[in-house]
A and B are shown apart, each in its own frame.
Chain A
């Protein structure tokens, strides 16, 4: 019987050039559940996302997928892993020189030898799933940001991935479109048993879709738990995030003067 946890993150540290952005991250991503990683901008949630999809190098045993060390993956093994996942980037990341249908068909054309007609039918089905069936011949420049994101989701789903990674699904979208995307993610989990990892800073969306929530701040985990546990958290910083309270000045007067006059 497979382990209940699909992905284990243990002692993950990460650097951007000389600056450390993640500090000793530990949590598990369960199978067939929606895990939401949330936090303010710059909290490190997108860095974790990039580690999980193999775009940023990971140290030994820091991330294991089905018990296999992501950091030790060969190039071929990483390609195999990526065939199991679907990724929706914040901007949709559609190719501007291709129509929506062509964009969505890219993985099928690259990894299968399906006939053109079959590819067309599969593309229309996925576009239908995200409500864009009438726009298959449109170019990305002819559609709105929300539609681009939905088309990006259709592309992420075209190979029926086992794990769906979504970066900021609701950002920049109107409430109705955002709610539609949230509902779609939940439906995918309920109907297909898909595991999903969603990075967001939108509280409403996060509580609506999450089975497990990870709250981050300044590269560290503040809290991990079910939406109910997070909502009832007594941690001051978590409460501040949930209550959308602005930061008060964290720098003392003395250190402020020192920075100002001594440049330290």
Chain B
């Protein structure tokens, strides 16, 4: 009996020993670890390339030998070890790296509170001295660098994108306008007339009643409703992708805006007369794009680089492809407007305190913010992946076989382009003329003041996600109701307040005031 026990014990010990030895691997094999291993072993040799590790958040993971990475290394005299992680997994990945004290040299802090915690725990490098002479960083961020919450004590710990997201355009199909004999709409009434004609006057000429005026989806965010809500003075799709407003010193939901009910009445008119997509409450974002691509809708409220540039012509199935222009829709406020644009502090690009060569890290980030650096990240290596046709005009052509996104991303093109962006990105430089004009037009319409809150607060953590859902549900319910609108609106506001809205208002207001 005892013999058997001894044998079994010995067997188990042997298995454990085998397991341990099998997984051991020499520490040198771990040099690929994303953590600070590269940084820890890096020596800031004056002659050799500086070794740096980066954590890149995105959905591409090209081979380490890709051409773009090699070109970055050549241009910055660095040797880069890049780890790739998807956005969905980035928080888990970063948490494990923090716990193991193996932070990469350069990485993203996704939220301000994450960045603040890292700073408080001494995990970030003070970059003040290094950024002083970094020309591109100064050119792009110089004026706003100190406004970042991490940099408010006069020292620089965080860098961020110098550009801003695209504002929304009401994209109108001009080929359909011509067919139904209408002019570009300028206000809510003329917009309705156009949408009605797009729905019922057979703009595609196929003899079937198979078109819709306005394509839209509320499933992802409020993008597709921005222009109409903006016409009523409501900032619809701000940070946190929710309608918000400052009402007599209180930060609250855009649902409580004095014009919200009027806006709902307008949407009701569109919905109940069948001129907007009846599936707007449930249709996934991509499927709603699909209706535009397949020639089923004639107007679409969305940032114009999609419809008139990035999707043109390959996404469209009609022959000839549709033509667009942009409408500035004025409402009761007398203005075509949408929410004002504020600096985007997240994600913050930071350098870990374990980085052995922060000067090289800043040099790398500085290169990313140059015109040539951003072009390299966005379009690849000139002469290999693309050629400028007219650099000043922003026209280029991709070189085969890199005109295919799978092939070019596999060679590093586009993969790093969102790591940090300059004020004027290559994307903006290379838009076609119409899109450039559309982007400028949309930017000019961003005039509605709204409370920009970049700090996190408890009520937002506890109730924010649910309130976001409640707001969308209320919006859909009010548009589609045939009951007493005022009554239902009152109940909806009460619901919003009861589901955490009251606390959210108080804490959001306090957070907003604390930023001043």
Q: Do A and B bind each other?
A: no
Interface residues of B (CB under 8 A from A): none
